[in-house]
Structure 1
């Protein structure tokens, strides 16, 4: 019972933090607001949490599926009108993954002083859960590994929308009120959303898809959208709730971390992610000349994290969010596959 009450109290606080972040125009307010609030509790007030408390995994997985459905429902035939550019753009993502991983590894080894195993798994530009799982099996320092992987995502979804807002001279993404959801979805559609989400989770588990809790529901929604068998929209309040739950869960990952360690990790994340974004900007500039795709759309397609917010930013730039999401899915899949191959090679050599 204490754990249930703690979860409810955290979610109530996160809701207030989300509305507060929305009021001041923060990108992705219903994720970043709750993340900041729960991270503050986890790092500054861990003694006020029940002993052994963990944010419920089943709750987090359920709402990750909602985000997957929302993105998958944006996959339409319009996505394939730009297919002739995919060889170049996906090729750039392939190059980006290798360069970004190498840069992150160098930062964590040279500046952070991390051992080679921890630096390797902490520096992957995607595959959050797979990196943590494989890193744990390989004997990485799990505190630093999880901290850096979560900070990577936090830095990207915070800095990139802010940077684009400054560059364009106006808010972008969720800070501009953009959304992939609708506010007028009838309650009668919710059972269909629930069934599609459960089917997607089952598909992701059965096929062992990378980030299956998101990619499984995304695949189901995309199939329904492309075939026209069924049509449904995700209500805005449900998307806000999903982001609130995910932000709270993410913030609670920092339970027990000292402020000194967290500040050092944040500094390393800023350096590594800043370098990754610089690589992405350079590749985007080269691609622009070959594909005529806008530089800003290509930059968000190459960013190392934040699938949902990057799709929202794409919407505010009048770009196809499914185009951006496709490249992020490819980045995650490529990172996970490469990670698996290199992990097996490291095991054989070791």
Structure 2
């Protein structure tokens, strides 16, 4: 069997597992069941050694669909609510400082990780940037990737489950008057793919997702369409997103996973606690649902949080904006913290 056939079979198997898990999650009545069930099913399969995986080109198609879905679900009054965003953006900054400082210290103090591994594991996002620095010799790359992937998976599960227990009274998305026509869908898809490709070429983080969303958002707010994406395509997008999240565990052995998993679970639990406290503190000052604030501040992957926003009926413009700004802040925070760690190591070296 040639390489193309192998990749095709692996991709088909991955999506089939995600679809089966999503279907089970849907029938069990889980919040965001298609996404959550798919992510869990593929994660279990990957950890069991199943040959799951998604080629980069297929992954990019999934990212375009995620961005297009987010743009198509932007609330009509998003522009009117931008004036309230400074409060939640200030909360985002406070949250990031708390997460990096507390989790980095806990991982180094109680889990015996070197400071490089501890702090690179604490950064809530920008995984490719973090892994690039780890590959350059800062920290243990394998432990960092396990802890970071656990964060993404648990947040994908915790956010919808949290809607059952936290004081969330969200505003359900208003149904569109009709499903968009095939010509509109194809034209919108082509535009989203083009802008996503441009963003990716410009090295914008999560370029295909953000570019696709930017195109769809501009088209919707510009009055070019006001219809919903076909429900089967939305479900397919959730299945693909679940497959993307779960397949990140491919290649991680069970023994290696278990060694780093406890620290990853504790770090993610602390992250969820910090996010929840900060979101609760900010919620009295803005007229928007608590769940929307929580997802906007939750440091999960942009594509996962965006898909959850769609599934739970929140304003995806708000969610995407906060995740983009989080990535921008981390672009400065990560090298700054690494530089401080290096300086600290150099100062400590002569006295050792």
TM-score, L = length of structure 2: 0.82
Match of 2:19 among 2, 15, 21: 15
Q: C-alpha offsets along residues 49-86 of structure 1, whole Å, 9 cap, x if unaligned?
A: 4xxx8531111121112111221233456113233322
- Pairwise CA distance, 1:282: 2.5
> Is 1:273 equivalent to 2:268 in the alignment?
yes
- Pairwise CA distance, 1:91: 1.0
1:184 corresponding residue in structure 2 = 179
Quick one: structure 1 residues 334 and 145, their matched pair in 2 at CA, closer, same or farther if it must change by over 3 Å? same
> Is 1:136 equivalent to 2:135 in the alignment?
yes
Match of 2:305 among 284, 304, 307: 307
- Pairwise CA distance, 1:155: 1.0
Return 5+ residue gaps in structure 2 as ranges. Answer: 347-352
Whether contact under 8 Å (2:47, 2:253) holds in the other structure is yes
Alpha-carbon separation, structure 2, partners of 1:2 and 1:183: 40
Alpha-carbon separation, structure 2, partners of 1:106 and 1:9: 40
Whether contact under 8 Å (1:182, 1:235) holds in the other structure is no
Alpha-carbon separation, structure 2, partners of 1:24 and 1:57: 32
Say which SS state the counterpart of residue 86 (structure 2) adopts: helix
Whether contact under 8 Å (1:64, 1:214) holds in the other structure is yes
> Is 1:35 equivalent to 2:19 in the alignment?
no
Alpha-carbon separation, structure 1, partners of 2:197 and 2:283: 39
Q: C-alpha offsets along residues 240-299 of structure 1, whole Å, 9 cap, x if unaligned?
A: 222322322332322332334334544323322222222223223332343454544433
> Is 1:240 equivalent to 2:235 in the alignment?
yes
1:211 corresponding residue in structure 2 = 206
- Pairwise CA distance, 1:96: 0.8
Say which SS state the counterpart of residue 253 (structure 1) adopts: helix
Whether contact under 8 Å (1:280, 1:302) holds in the other structure is yes
- Pairwise CA distance, 1:330: 2.0
Return 5+ residue gaps in structure 1 as ranges. Answer: none
1:141-290 alignment, distance < 5 Å: 141-167=140-166, 184-229=179-224, 233-290=228-285
Match of 2:6 among 2, 27, 37: 2
Alpha-carbon separation, structure 1, partners of 2:287 and 2:66: 30
Whether contact under 8 Å (1:21, 1:33) holds in the other structure is yes
1:119 corresponding residue in structure 2 = 118
- Pairwise CA distance, 1:23: 0.9
Match of 2:333 among 335, 338, 346: 338
Task: Say what the alpha-carbon RMSD is for the aligned residues.
Answer: 3.2
Whether contact under 8 Å (2:42, 2:246) holds in the other structure is yes
2:101 corresponding residue in structure 1 = 102
Alpha-carbon separation, structure 2, partners of 1:248 and 1:310: 14
Alpha-carbon separation, structure 1, partners of 2:121 and 2:174: 31
1:322 corresponding residue in structure 2 = 317
